[in-house]
Amino acid sequence: MGKQSVSISGIRQDEWANPFGATSEELVASALEENGLLEQKTLINGKNAHTLFQSYCKKKNLFQEATRLGNILLKEQLIRQEQLNKALRIQARTGKPLGEVLVAERFCTEADIGVALERQQSIREDLYRMEQAREAKRDFWGRIIRFLVDSREPL
């Protein structure tokens, strides 16, 4: 059996469930994977679906990485990269919380940490709600994909 191909177009992307900018093809590849239908030979719009799924995962992980305390402090320009690197080395050696290390080293204030932790909590709550919305749509996507699989040749 040769390569199996799916063509898609005109899929509306829900930014609430896709805050990290995945393409329509990556979203479909993710839905295929979540429903146990992704195969190495599957193509979506002529692109390898497995590669699209890996790209989706990378974008999602990078977005989640941005919610880490040090990255929030960097983004808000409350610390510099070299300060974060030093604090992370100290944290690894001592086991102390990063915020505590940053304050002890006088790289930022307790107020800065408090603001960053509030921002982190807000982002993570949004991510959780987005993931819940995505999970709710998983069954819908699964039914559509199973219908497409059952009504034509396998993907």
**Four-residue CA torsion sign, 118, 119, 120, 121:** positive
Q: How would residue 1 be classed by pLDDT, with cut points 50, 70 and 90?
A: very low
Specify burial of residue 77 (Cβ count, 10 A radius: 0-12, 13-18, 19+): exposed
Alpha-carbon gap, residue 12 to 119, rounded angstroms:
29
Domain boundaries, the chain: 4-151
pTM: 0.62
DSSP one-letter code for 68: S
At residue 13, the pLDDT reads 60
Give the model confidence (pLDDT) of 95-134 as tens digits.
999 999 999 999 999 999 999 999 999 888 877 887 777 6
Taking the chain, what is the end-to-end CA distance rounded to the nearest angstrom? 11
